[in-house]
Amino acid sequence: MDIDGGGILDIAVVSDTRLLVSVGGKQRVILVNSQTGGTVAQTTLKGFPRRVCMFDNIMAVVTLMDKSLQLININGDSLELGRSFSLNGDVWGVARSEDRLIVSYCSPPGLEVLSMDGRVIHTFSNQAAGGDVFMYPSFISTSADGMVYVSDGAKSTVTQLDSNLHVIRTYSDPILQQPCGIISVSADQVLVCSHDNHRILLLCPSTGGITSILGEEDGIMWPYALTYSPSQKKLYVVPNENSGRIQIFQQQ
């Protein structure tokens, strides 16, 4: 599936037939028909988008490169800009945790739990943790049981935290090379883009095991972002942040 404009930085499932795509090159977010690849609607942002997540089925959240966060309302086949607010640093990742948001910062590296009006509820920083847990925490996913998963491309790790940002465990493995996009598909299944060795990995938190489920033999090259539709059992992968393409894999 090719997306007009290229430069895809993140994707999220809106419904069985819709994807929301952040396109950095043209400062847009696009609502895409996931069956045809056609553009359903688009809106221009006030800054360059990075990550996108769905808060519910009618509202999405986008992090912008100007240290802000933008809410987007999805009304049928239209997109409307909602409220925006400034954040405390160079923000990258975003994920929903119940009625809150979790965002990641790369300069300096850290995490925050925010209310929907931008109020800081919890903070994680390397300094406060007494170490260097993160160097480049750019993608986040949350699971149904309240866990938070953060990929760090600079450290080649995935870190699991609870909803109050207490570190549970950090996962590392030779097969995990510059992890990028990450998505929790169940309480014990987390999918990760292993960018530098062209693989999609399955992380099982209960065992700590990390295995490859897709690779170059399946057409995976430089995977950057991904999302998953549980109702359709479809995995959507952005092969790299400059390609303007989305690959679709049907899970058995």
pLDDT in tens, 95-142: 999 899 999 998 889 999 999 988 999 999 877 666 789 999 999 999
233: pLDDT strictly greater than 70: yes
Distances, alpha carbon 38 to alpha carbons 4, 31, 89, 147, in Å:
9, 9, 35, 34
Q: Which pTM does this prediction carry?
A: 0.94
Mean per-residue pLDDT over the chain, rounded: 91
186: pLDDT strictly greater than 80: yes
Which of 139, 174, 141 has its CA nearest to residue 156? 174
Interior angle at CA 119, CA 137 and CA 185, nearest 5: 45
**Residues 40, 77: contact at Cβ < 8 Å?**
yes
Tokens linked to 65: 């490169």
> Can you tell me the mean pLDDT for 166-178?
94
Which pLDDT score, from 0 to 100, does residue 128 have? 64
230: pLDDT strictly greater than 80: yes
